Amino acid sequence: MPEPTQRTAIVTGAARGIGAAVALRLAADGMQVGVIDLDEAACAGTVDAIARAGGRALAVGADVADEAAAEAAVERIATQLGEPAVLVNNAGVLRDNLLFKMSVDDWDTVLAVHLRGSFLMSRAVQAYMTKAGYGRIVNLSSTSALGNRGQANYAAAKAGLQGFTKTLAIELGKFGITCNAIAPGFIVTDMTAATAARIGVDFEQFTQATAKTIPVQRPGYPEDIAHTASFLVSEGAGFVSGQVLYVAGGPRD
Ligand code: NAP
C-alpha cells in the first residue's frame, strides 16, 4: 500500500544508534521526520543524512522526560514540519548495576527516560493523532523486559513499556491509532559498546561471543530495528496493535 507523502514522524533519541536508523528509514519511506535528542546539535548528522537522501527533517533538542520540553518539542515539530502522525519512542539510557549497588538516581533516571518520556511524548502527540483519526506509536522495549542481571531498573522500564503499549492500543484504537512495541535483542550500537566497556571486554569480541548465542548467528544492527519500525508505522499495518515484536534473531518471549 503506498504511503501518503505528507506524514510527519517523530523519533526520539535519534542522534545516533537505533533512533538514527529509524529516522533515516522513515524518511526513505516518504515521511518528514522530527529528530529529537538531548542535544540539538547532535541531531545534525541524522538530519543532514536525511537531507542528502532527498528527505526533510528537523532537529529538536529536548529531554523527553521533562514535561515542558517534551510538549514544546512536539509543538515545534507540528508547527515547523507538520502535525505528527507517527511517534517512535526510542530515547534510552542505561545505568546498570546489581540491585544492592543500584542507587536511587540510577533507578529514577532509567525509569524517567524510558517510561515517563514515552508517556509524555505519547500524551503530547495523541492530541494531533486523535484529531486526524490516524496515528502510529511504536515504543522501544527490549529482551531485557524478561529479566537481565544488573538491569533491574532497565528491565522494569522495558516491561512497563509493554503494559503501556497494550493500554494505549486499547484506548486509542477507536481513533485509528495503533500502538506496538519492538523488543530488540543485541544490537550493535554505542549502548552495547558501553556495556562491553563497563565489563572490560573488547566490543568486537563481545559482539562475536554474543552472536554465537543468537539463533541466526549474527548480531542485530540498527537497520534491523528500522525495518521493523517501518512496517509497524506503515499504513497497511493498521490491524496490528498492542503487540510486542521481539526482534532478536530468535524467540525471546
Ligand atoms: P544509544 O546509541 O545509546 O542512543 C540513545 C539515544 O537516546 C542517544 O542519542 C541519547 O542521547 C538519547 N537520549 C538519552 N536520554 C534522552 C532523553 N532524556 N531525551 C532525549 N534523548 C535521550 O542507544 P541505542 O542502542 O540506539 O538504543 C535505542 C533504544 O533501543 C533504547 O530505548 C534502548 O533501550 C533500546 N534497545 C537497545 C538495544 C541494543 O542492543 N542496543 C537492545 C534493546 C533495546 P545522548 O547521547 O545525549 O545520551
Read off the pLDDT of residues 122-139 as tens digits, 9 standing for 90 and up: 999 999 999 999 999 999
C-alpha cell at 27: 524518511
Cα(145)–Cα(244) distance, integer angstroms: 11
Q: Is 186 in the pocket of ligand 1 (CB under 6 A)?
A: yes
Q: How far is CA 6 from CA 12, 33, 74, 123, 230, in A?
A: 20, 10, 17, 22, 16
**pLDDT score at 6:** 82
- Considering the domain boundaries, does residue 143 fall inside one? yes
Q: Is 17 in the pocket of ligand 1 (CB under 6 A)?
A: yes
Catalytic annotation present for 134: no
- Considering the domain boundaries, does residue 48 fall inside one? yes
**pLDDT score at 1:** 46
Cα(54)–Cα(240) distance, integer angstroms: 30
Cα(245)–Cα(197) distance, integer angstroms: 28
**pLDDT score at 2:** 43
Catalytic residue among 128, 154, 221, 246: 154
Q: What is the CATH number of the domain that holds 174?
A: 3.40.50.720
1 Cα–ligand 1 center, Å = 31
Residues of the chain with pLDDT under 50: 1-4
- Considering the domain boundaries, does residue 238 fall inside one? yes
pTM as predicted: 0.98
**pLDDT score at 109:** 98
| Most informative mutation of 191, 198, 224, 246 for ligand 1 (most atoms within 8 A of CB) | 191
Cα(97)–Cα(83) distance, integer angstroms: 40
How many domains are contained in the chain?
1
Domain, as residue range, for 124? 8-185+220-246
Contact by Cβ (8 Å): 39, 59: no
Q: Closest Cα partner for 185 from 251, 101, 233, 113?
A: 251
* Structure confidence by residue, pLDDT tens digits, 74-110: 999 999 999 999 999 999 999 999 999 999 999 999 9
